[in-house]
Amino acid sequence: MNKTLPIHNTAQQMAARQRDISVSEFFLKNRHLLGFDSPAKAILITIKEAVDNALDACEDAGILPEIWVEISYQVGDVYRIAVEDNGPGILEAQLARIFGKLLYGSKFHKLSQSRGQQGIGISAAGMYAQLTTGKPLHVISQVQGESMATELLVSIDTTKNRPELHKKTKLNWHRPHGTRVEAQIEGHYPKGAHSIEMYLKQTAIANPHVTFHFKNLHGEQLIFQRSRCEIPVSPVEIKPHPHGIELGRLIQMLNNTDCHSLLQFLENEFSRVGRKTAQAIIQQANESLSERSYPKRIAHAQASALYRSIKTVPVSVPRTDCLAPIGEQQLAEGMRKEIDADFYVVTTRPPAVYRGNPFQIEIGIAYGRPSRSELALDERGHIHQKKSHHHNKAESMVPTEEATQLLRFANRVPLLYGQAGCAISKAVTNTNWHTYGLAQNKGTLPSAPMIILVHVASVWVPFTSEAKEAIAAYDEIIKEIKLGLQECGRKLAVELHKKMRLKNEYNKRVHIEKYLPHIGIALQEILSLSDDQRKHTVAQLDDVFQQTRKI
């Protein structure tokens, strides 16, 4: 019953319109996928992508990172942004493609924790500059040990996704090694929770080994000095874990390997597969597969059998030295340095795995408002009220209302947008905070004057878009974050309980302090004590009460 109206377009006419779409064209039209959907975000993302690259390069080369960020106003809505680092520099042969081609990079095919992973970021910023101001990126790079630096003006030929060079020269630069990238883009100067200062502050929390120099719109210099002088242990590159592999990927690997035997293939191309495990896999697969089967000649049915066998033979859990968590101590230090609060609790979870990719969760909670006076014990064990102290650092970070603020990080990079759709938010709102003595409306963040910091470190962070703003809600990841939050929640509850007890004791103490002198006077009259005797008795009584409290 095909009811057909007069044909508008024939299959032939439709075919004539079919075309290839270049990846640059695609992202130019879909620039919100890269995060460039608002003028304020555009500025922040450009800085973030350049800083991510700088940090990755420095750490990879074993250099303590020192980064200079500058922003200045041009005309109209145009700003000039420059990011300069003391990294190892980039070879002249690679420069144009790194800055002028999407999907080009060194981190995509590698399994190890890094900030960049897609080979899109900085070229996308260049594409946005080109789109809004028509100006190419201005790049200078000095490779350590070379005599001169390379200077480049480069943009993207979007219909072909390849770099277009406008200028390339050699020059003497002021830095022995490093890279500087400068972009002119249309944007709005970001303020408040999404300001450049806030981004740098959050980055400093997760990277205590970095020094930032920031020159703002008014030419003022702000320095975020490193608190640690050790570079985080360099994460090791790993092979894929056999239990995380999918059939299609296995077939692809069989076709692409240089190994000449199945045994060698299993041993060399996978993590945690030794000779014995490899032999067990082959034996269990059967399907006339042998240790000497030539990988490229393995048929589909054989590959399927191999795949099923791989899934059932026990293999040790993935190596986790591919991860570089911040560490409980460093995280607590970073939070203390940048966030003013009554107290801090921190948890680092053991590594876990999703789709064969190791990942690790770290949680920190900073509780209490800095503007509120707090109670403390003095050296004698007496409770007293601490003076409220206003730090410069406290002003912007701590929530002003009784609402929890969430700071999200992935591979030490702060996630500044897209909170609503993020696995981290989902885990926090799905945790029952009543258990830890906090108020919470169903499906929302708990209501408390606190900051929750969540860090997801992984060899491959599954972002919900190329803008790398939010983490996809894989069950394994949500589960681990919730476990971390619960651990931290329990520590929080203990502290809150202490605080509550301190508060109760303090109230009693205030009463004691108020009435003790009167009791002293009464005793003096009844027992005819001298003034000194009275004072001595009161002091003794006070000590007795304090002792009782401590028991």
- Smallest separation, CB 507 to a copy of itself (Å): 33
Indicate the pairing of strand 137-142 with strand 149-157.
antiparallel
Of the pair 32, 239, the CB lying nearest a copy of itself is at 32
Other CB atoms within 10 A of residue 63 CB: 17
Residue 413 dihedral angles phi and psi, to the nearest 5°: -105, 125
- DSSP single-letter state for residue 102: S
- Smallest separation, CB 346 to a copy of itself (Å): 27
Nearest to 135 by CA among 167, 106, 161: 167
Of the pair 88, 489, the CB lying nearest a copy of itself is at 88
Q: Which secondary structure element, helix H or strand E, spans residue 94, and what is its range? A: helix 92-100
Quote the strand ranges of 248-356, DSSP E. 343-348, 352-354
- Smallest separation, CB 443 to a copy of itself (Å): 7
Other CB atoms within 10 A of residue 230 CB: 10
- Smallest separation, CB 294 to a copy of itself (Å): 18
Of the pair 52, 340, the CB lying nearest a copy of itself is at 52
Of the pair 134, 548, the CB lying nearest a copy of itself is at 134
Region of residue 92 (left: phi > 0; alpha: psi -120 to 50; beta: else): alpha
Q: CB within 8 A of 153, min separation 6: which ones?
A: 136, 137, 138, 139, 165, 166, 167, 168
CA-CA distances (angstroms) from residue 59 to 56, 85, 361, 544? 5, 12, 21, 58
Nearest to 549 by CA among 523, 512, 522: 512
Of the pair 131, 375, the CB lying nearest a copy of itself is at 131
- Smallest separation, CB 164 to a copy of itself (Å): 11
- What are 502's two structure tokens? 């301190």
Q: How far is the C-alpha of 518 from the C-alpha of 525, rounded, in Å? A: 11
Of the pair 145, 314, the CB lying nearest a copy of itself is at 145
Of the pair 62, 314, the CB lying nearest a copy of itself is at 62
Contact 197, 400 (CB under 8 A): no
Q: How far is the C-alpha of 386 from the C-alpha of 373, rounded, in Å? A: 6
- Smallest separation, CB 388 to a copy of itself (Å): 29
Residue 287 dihedral angles phi and psi, to the nearest 5°: 45, 40
- What are 544's two structure tokens? 């007795």
Of the pair 254, 266, the CB lying nearest a copy of itself is at 254
- Smallest separation, CB 167 to a copy of itself (Å): 13
Helices (H), 313-350: 328-338
- Smallest separation, CB 500 to a copy of itself (Å): 27
- Smallest separation, CB 430 to a copy of itself (Å): 12
Q: How far is the C-alpha of 121 from the C-alpha of 137, rounded, in Å? A: 13
Residue with tokens 């006076």: 373
- DSSP single-letter state for residue 238: B
- Smallest separation, CB 353 to a copy of itself (Å): 16
- Smallest separation, CB 306 to a copy of itself (Å): 11
Q: How far is the C-alpha of 454 from the C-alpha of 489, rounded, in Å? A: 13
